[in-house]
């Protein structure tokens, strides 16, 4: 059989299971990455496993989310992360060095290897032919300990690219077009593998944007072949030695094929409040704009910022709006500074921010009330910007600049600027001074913990009889930003579960946390694609702390489902979707013989308030069932001493 690139990489890393879609497989992990907002938990969990040093080829700890130091908390976390990295053999990327996905692709991603990261946009590295998957921190901790990563083998969707992008159309428009066609649920249980003639016309910078936002499709990951373009990119990063020629076999057998003619695309924009509410920019041109932000791990590369600077050169942004630019990494920042583009951006009135996630995760730059903001980012969930009633649109840097100049939504083809295309440079500026490598002997290193770092909450084995009140009933596509908000107020509490649990569901129902405490926990009922978006395990860990023992939904998003299991929360599916309608907040539900139900894959749920019963499905692999019954992955890992693969 002709093999896909995905199958080739999986075969090289397979530890257990068969390569059949839907089967659970275990794969060896070569590299891991963490960022500060998920990293503190991941390292506390790693420490709890009692393993002396990481067993991966490469593990990197980044600081990019919690950059605003308005109190001691974030700075303390940074210090903890730096010392714990030195202690356990992890490379530490200091604050200021850049966003994890930008720096990882510049300095570490290797074609053909596997990467597990505690951030949902880890698949960005797939643009270099790496199998890169976003997961919760606990899964990363296990991989750092040398354990395999288990997943149900996704279906591999081949995306055949033909044609070439027209002027002013970019990688962002490719992924927005896929979001328009497939929606935020369309990639669930799938890996998107790009192939075809059109590939040759896409620079690595564009491929990174596409694999990055594959996360918004709900896909497990996205991958490009490692070809001449990849060779050039790695050479320009001074890493020719990491190149490996990798592509699918000619005529590879994909589970499904999607056709995309690049020549047919035009500038697109995702409207509030979902990345799949995609329109043509021209259709909504003229809408007034209050803010424009270029940055985030999606579009803050050297190529992106050089394009923006060239478009803005000699002009000033519209007086009505505020524009920010965030270089994705120190490499990007230093290069645009040395080449003069930074001066052009400053001269045009842009507010330049430090290299990090910044406004993308609500760390500053919240828009005005009801404001319209156009961002080159990847997520526009309600409230994520820090302003609940703001309207966030997502578009390419080119569209962002067009809007900034006109003060209203505008297509870059309509602002009278000559088309600019920045090529991949022959050499990027490589200076790794902000990467701290761990010492070979770390016996003298003391791990420093600040007072905000609270011990990891734990729970015992799952109870056999579960009862609980429906504390909240929500609709479809609930994001982890709904469940566990981020932003400058809440993010500094990521290493303090008792404190952060006060904010669970705060934007949806401010009384949720108090109610959960008063009732001693309960049940949450959800619709389709429950828990989409971020990999933050706090969206499972904090509810667990509040006593949530099960979530009953129509379907779950991949990472959140695993996070629930990892923290001993039972993810139950309605057997008959109509039963969702028959439940109300306040109903008291009960299941008996949970242990039996997990093994039999089905359970009867009794609604004691209404005096009826309905069936639910427990779709867990045997291993997941054991993890759940143990009360979570940490308990399970301690019971089965972790063996490196
Ligand atoms: C995000 O974009 O939502 C984040 C913040 O990067 C998250 C991780 C987190 O919540 O810390 C993600 O995408 O996984
Ligand atoms: Fe950071 Fe935003 Fe990327 Fe998440 S999506 S890693 S918050 S830049």
Nearest protein CA to atom 1 of ligand 1, as residue: 534
Task: Tell me which of 119, 139, 211, 539 to substitute to probe ligand 1's pocket, judged by most ligand atoms within 8 Å of the beta carbon.
Answer: 119
Rounded to the nearest angstrom, the distance between the alpha carbon of 357 and the centre of ligand 2 is: 5
From ligand 2's centre to the CA of 609, what distance in Å?
A: 43
| Atom 1 (ligand 2) nearest CA | 357
> Residues with beta carbon inside 6 Å of ligand 1?
37-38, 65, 119-121, 134, 361, 379, 486, 533-536
Beta strands in 387-517 (DSSP E): 391-394, 435-436, 466-473
SS3 of residue 278 by DSSP: strand
Q: Name the architecture of domain 268-414.
A: 2-Layer Sandwich (3.30)
CATH 3.20.19.10 is held by the domain 466-486+496-639: yes
Q: Cis (ω within 30 of 0) for the bond into 273? A: yes
For residue 640, which phi and psi values (nearest 5 degrees)? -110, 100
Q: How far is the CA of 481 from the centre of ligand 1 (A)?
A: 9
| Helix, strand, coil percentages, rounded to 5, for the chain | 35, 20, 45
Q: What is the pLDDT of residue 461?
A: 93
Assess whether pLDDT exceeds 90 at residue 458: no
Atom of ligand 1 nearest to the CA of 384: 3
Please report the atom of ligand 1 found closest to the CA of residue 535: 14
* Mean pLDDT for all residues in the chain: 97
Residue nearest to atom 2 of ligand 2 (CA): 360
Note the pLDDT of residue 324. 99
Distance (Å, whole) CA 222 – CA 178: 12
- pLDDT per position as a tens digit, 124-133: 999 999 999 9
The residue whose C-alpha atom lies closest to atom 7 belonging to ligand 1 is 534
- Asked which of 319-328, 456-465, 554-563 is least confident by mean pLDDT, the reply is 456-465
pLDDT of 73 above 90: yes
Best substitution site from 121, 534, 535 to test ligand 2's pocket, by max atoms within 8 Å of Cβ?
Answer: 121
Return the ligand 1 atom nearest residue 484 CA.
10
pLDDT, average across residues 59-78 = 97
* DSSP code at position 488: H
Q: Mind listing the pLDDT tens digit for each residue in 193-229?
A: 999 999 999 999 999 999 999 999 999 999 999 999 9
Question: What is the pLDDT averaged over residues 481-499?
Answer: 97
511 Cβ contact partners less than 8 Å away, ≥ 6 residues apart: none
As a residue count, the chain comes to 645
User: Domain coordinates of the chain in residue numbers?
Assistant: 5-264, 268-414, 466-486+496-639
Ligand found nearest the CA of 296 = 2
List the structure tokens of 355: 């290299």
- The first and second tokens of residue 630, run together, are 């143990």
Pairing label, strands 612-617, 602-607: antiparallel
> What is the number of the ligand 1 atom nearest to the C-alpha of 536?
10
Pocket test for ligand 1, best of 482, 534, 559 (most atoms within 8 A of CB): 534
Backbone angles phi, psi at 578, to 5 degrees: -65, -25
Q: Please tell me the pTM assigned to this model.
A: 0.98
Q: Are 422 and 307 in contact (CB under 8 A)?
A: yes
How far, in Å, from the CA of 486 to the mean position of ligand 1? 8
Ligand 2, residues at Cβ distance < 6 Å:
65, 99, 119, 121, 296-297, 357, 360-361, 378
What is the rounded distance in angstroms from the CA atom of residue 32 to the CA atom of residue 207? 21
Looking from the CA of residue 65, the nearest atom of ligand 1 is 5
Q: Which among 317, 320, 319, 375 is positioned nearest to 348, based on CA atoms?
A: 317
The CA 119 to ligand 1 mean position distance, Å, reads: 5
Residue 601 burial (10 A CB sphere; 0-12, 13-18, 19+): exposed
Higher-confidence position of 599 and 551: 551
In the CATH scheme, what architecture does the domain 5-264 have?
Answer: 2-Layer Sandwich (3.30)
Average pLDDT over residues 499-506: 98
- Which ligand has its closest atom nearest to the C-alpha of 298? 2
**Per-residue confidence band for 250, with pLDDT thresholds at 50, 70 and 90:** very high
Distance 296 CA to ligand 2 centre (A): 6
d(CA 552, CA 565): 13
Whether the predicted pLDDT of 644 surpasses 80: no
Handedness of CA 511, 517, 518, 524 (dihedral sign): positive
Per-residue pLDDT at 437: 98
pLDDT given for residue 358 in this prediction: 98
pLDDT at position 599: 86
CA nearest ligand 1 atom 2, residue? 534
Ligand 1 binding pocket mutation candidate from 536, 540, 562 (most atoms within 8 A of CB): 536
Of the pLDDT bands very low, low, confident and very high (cuts 50, 70, 90), residue 570 is very high
Ligand 2 atom nearest the C-alpha of 100 is 6
How much is the pLDDT for 645? Answer: 78
- Rounded to the nearest angstrom, the distance between the alpha carbon of 185 and the centre of ligand 1 is 18
Between CA 522 and CA 79 the distance in angstroms is: 37
Number of H helices, E strands in the chain: 21, 27
pLDDT at 600: 86
For residue 201, how many other CB atoms are within 10 A of its CB? 15
Mean pLDDT of 267-280: 98
**Which ligand has an atom closest to residue 361 CA?**
2
- Give 120 Cα–ligand 1 centroid separation in angstroms: 6
HSE toward the beta carbon, residue 524, CA cutoff 13 A: 31
According to the model, what pLDDT value does residue 640 have?
A: 87
Cα gap 430→589, rounded to integer Å: 58
pLDDT, tens digit, for every residue of 81-108? 999 999 999 999 999 999 999 999 999 9
CA distance 136 to 46: 13
Above 80 in pLDDT, residue 595?
Answer: yes
Q: What is the set of active-site residues? A: 64-65, 119, 379, 534, 536
pLDDT for res 147: 96
Q: Same fold for the domain at 5-264 and the one at 268-414?
A: yes
Which bound ligand lies closest to the C-alpha atom of 209? 2
Ligand 2 centroid – CA 489 distance (Å): 17
Element (H, E) at 60: strand 58-62
């Amino acid at each position: 059989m002709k093999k896909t690139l995905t199958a080739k990489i999986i075969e090289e890393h397979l530890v257990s299971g068969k390569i059949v879609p839907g089967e659970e497989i275990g794969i060896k992990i070569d590299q891991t990455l963490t960022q500060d907002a998920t990293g503190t938990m991941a390292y506390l969990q790693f420490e709890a496993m009692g393993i002396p040093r990481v067993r991966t080829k490469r593990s990197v700890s980044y600081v990019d989310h919690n950059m605003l130091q308005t109190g001691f908390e974030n700075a303390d976390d940074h210090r903890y992360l730096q010392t714990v990295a030195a202690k356990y053999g992890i490379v530490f990327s200091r604050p200021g060095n850049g966003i994890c996905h930008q720096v990882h692709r510049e300095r570490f991603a290797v074609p053909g290897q596997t990467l597990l990261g505690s951030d949902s946009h880890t698949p960005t590295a797939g643009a270099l032919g790496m199998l890169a998957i976003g997961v919760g921190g606990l899964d990363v901790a296990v991989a750092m300990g040398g354990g395999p990563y288990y997943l149900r083998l996704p279906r591999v969707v081949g995306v055949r690219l033909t044609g070439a992008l027209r002027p002013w159309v970019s990688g962002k428009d490719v992924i927005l077009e896929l979001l328009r066609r497939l929606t935020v649920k369309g990639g669930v249980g799938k890996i998107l593998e790009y192939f075809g003639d059109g590939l040759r016309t896409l620079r690595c910078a564009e491929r990174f944007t596409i694999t990055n936002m594959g996360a918004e499709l709900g896909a497990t990951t996205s991958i490009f072949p490692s070809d001449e373009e990849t060779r050039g990119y790695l050479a320009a990063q001074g890493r020719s030695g990491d190149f490996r020629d990798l592509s699918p076999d000619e005529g590879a057998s994909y589970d499904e094929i999607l056709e995309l003619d690049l020549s047919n695309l035009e500038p697109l924009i995702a409207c509030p409040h979902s990345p799949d509410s995609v329109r043509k920019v021209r259709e909504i041109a003229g809408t007034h704009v209050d803010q424009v932000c270029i940055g985030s791990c999606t579009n803050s590369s050297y190529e992106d910022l050089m394009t923006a600077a060239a478009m803005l050169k000699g002009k000033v942004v519209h007086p009505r709006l505020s524009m920010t630019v965030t270089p994705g990494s120190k490499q990007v920042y230093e290069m645009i500074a040395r080449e003069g583009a930074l001066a052009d951006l400053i001269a045009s009135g842009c507010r330049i921010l430090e290299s990090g996630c910044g406004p993308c995760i609500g760390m500053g730059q919240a828009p005005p009330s009801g404001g319209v903001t156009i961002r080159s980012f990847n997520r526009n969930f309600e409230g994520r910007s820090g302003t609940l009633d703001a309207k966030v649109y997502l578009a390419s840097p080119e569209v962002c600049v067009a809007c900034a100049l006109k003060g209203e939504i505008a297509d870059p083809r309509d602002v009278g600027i000559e088309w600019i295309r920045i090529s991949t440079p022959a050499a990027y500026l490589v200076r790794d001074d902000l990467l701290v490598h761990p010492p070979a002997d770390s016996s003298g290193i003391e791990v420093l913990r600040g007072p905000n770092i609270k011990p990891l909450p734990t729970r015992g084995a799952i109870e056999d009889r579960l009862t609980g009140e429906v504390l909240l009933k929500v609709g479809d596509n609930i994001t982890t930003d709904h469940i566990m908000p981020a932003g400058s107020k809440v993010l500094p509490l990521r290493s303090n579960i008792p404190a952060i649990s006060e904010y669970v569901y705060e934007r949806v129902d401010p009384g949720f946390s108090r109610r959960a405490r008063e009732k001693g926990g309960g049940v949450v009922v959800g619709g389709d694609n429950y828990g989409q978006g971020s990999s933050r395990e706090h969206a499972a860990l904090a509810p667990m702390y509040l006593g949530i023992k099960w979530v009953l939904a129509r379907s779950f998003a991949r990472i959140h489902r695993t996070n629930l299991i990892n923290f001993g929360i039972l993810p139950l599916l309605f057997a008959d979707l109509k039963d969702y309608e028959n439940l109300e907040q306040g109903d008291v539900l009960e299941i008996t013989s949970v242990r039996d139900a997990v093994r039999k894959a089905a359970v009867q749920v009794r609604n004691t308030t209404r005096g009826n019963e309905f069936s639910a499905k427990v779709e867990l692999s045997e291993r997941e069932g054991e993890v759940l019954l143990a009360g979570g992955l940490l308990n399970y890992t301690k019971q089965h001493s972790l063996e490196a693969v």
